[in-house]
Chains A and B, each alone.
Chain A
């Protein structure tokens, strides 16, 4: 059965995505380390780090896509899982500084010395062990998602209400991590990292390895997501997305399906955060800001939700745009981002990937020998949109109507 799942996961386009990511994981570090600077084909250091960051964002977007695109849960708090994973990694990196900090305390990180801590808080114990920190990277976001999802899905909090309380969750964490007495460095966060696994964190080889690790982690995430959505469970997830009540009445435990997707997604987001921190060199409470989480949603939407490749493309394109705009035209970035939100929701409900599919469908339709009477591709896309919201497909022919809050 497992082999069957493996084969199912790797068929279709997912195998290409995984393969390309693995090639990137090897090729980019090789091009950075082996080809001397100045020669054609050399990838400069800053680009390695920059693209490493994009890949962690892509992982985060993929995690969101798993719950939003496939399970219909619009989480506006995925940044929280990302940041929690990042904080776990940051705590490990802080402990690795040892006595090289400004105050030279062998155990306590600088900010704790500054805030007059006499000993390590209990939740910092064990974080100097890499395996333990990595366990926390997975466990903490997973556990939070489990507890949160357990309560939310069991009491059938859905739709906009769920979105808003996920936003409240990340906002509460934002406020909490800003507090100095939380023991996470307050609004300065954790920074000034020196080593990771005994290697200096700024070294080119470390950077290249981190890039490779990120690309491999992304490939693994793609593989896992593909495995999930192509399994029977994945079919149930899509059923929950499209018609939750119907799935429930058919006998599926909708809340468990959602909970599973939510927890897996949170874990992937946490790992993405853990890979993000050593590459950018800082983690602070700003990562919890609700605005960040909403931005993740737009990456996913731009690329195309409900597809595996879409969120990856979306995250990379939007962030490249952001890097360009904030450097060249900082005034315009918010206009561009805001416009993107409006444009994508109005005109690209299925994102870039959906656009390609539509375009292909359109050309196929044009090449058909006999034009069908009702087969307009836009109408088809429209129908599936409505179906996603769980509306009765009989209503498809009518113009969209507002639906009062339940």
Chain B
């Protein structure tokens, strides 16, 4: 028998996961839009965020919330590095950066994954912070405090990205480059700098998403791939290119996963997701929320 309790539980769970996936997908969507690069290593960078959080807590007792201060600048720098040392030199040598970047980022993905195995072994790792064993009661439903923190971080981050893209000059420049690279260049936008910032932002948000996810789930160095699949689903569902779309896409995917597990066997949920995605693509080939 299904109870309202279970359904409500599924709903709330879906929002928690969905927000984290949305944040994870936002950066992927950004770099795709601005540079036509399919960053297959995106989830691996998120995983870096997870492991930084774990390490800081275990080695130095640093609170997961404080670790954001370390994750954001570090991943931002990695993003700049990715652009200046890998993507840009490659793009110079070919017209079709999409194909080449897939191999490049796949290689990067392998490197990060195995680096993590070497440094942290391949066992399941769980974050044991001072928030871990606390639950809050929302009506009859009890919710883990870590999930609420994760939701808050993801939501705040998405809002920040949204305002950055829509209210600041640099953010508007990012959107301009996204829509029309040559036009942006002609109108005097520093396309080079904007692209670099996009990569920094993309990886920084990925790192924060990794923090959100490790607050809720255990991680292994190999989990990056299944995260990547969700990134694909969310980014495409929401349409590559809109923070609002990514947020809604993330919530849809999160709710399907979470609510779905109430109604149908776990194994079929992915099937439902994939079939749904293909249907969405066929009806609206550019995603649900794109023009």
The answer to whether A and B interact is no
Spell out A's residues near B (CB within 8 Å).
none
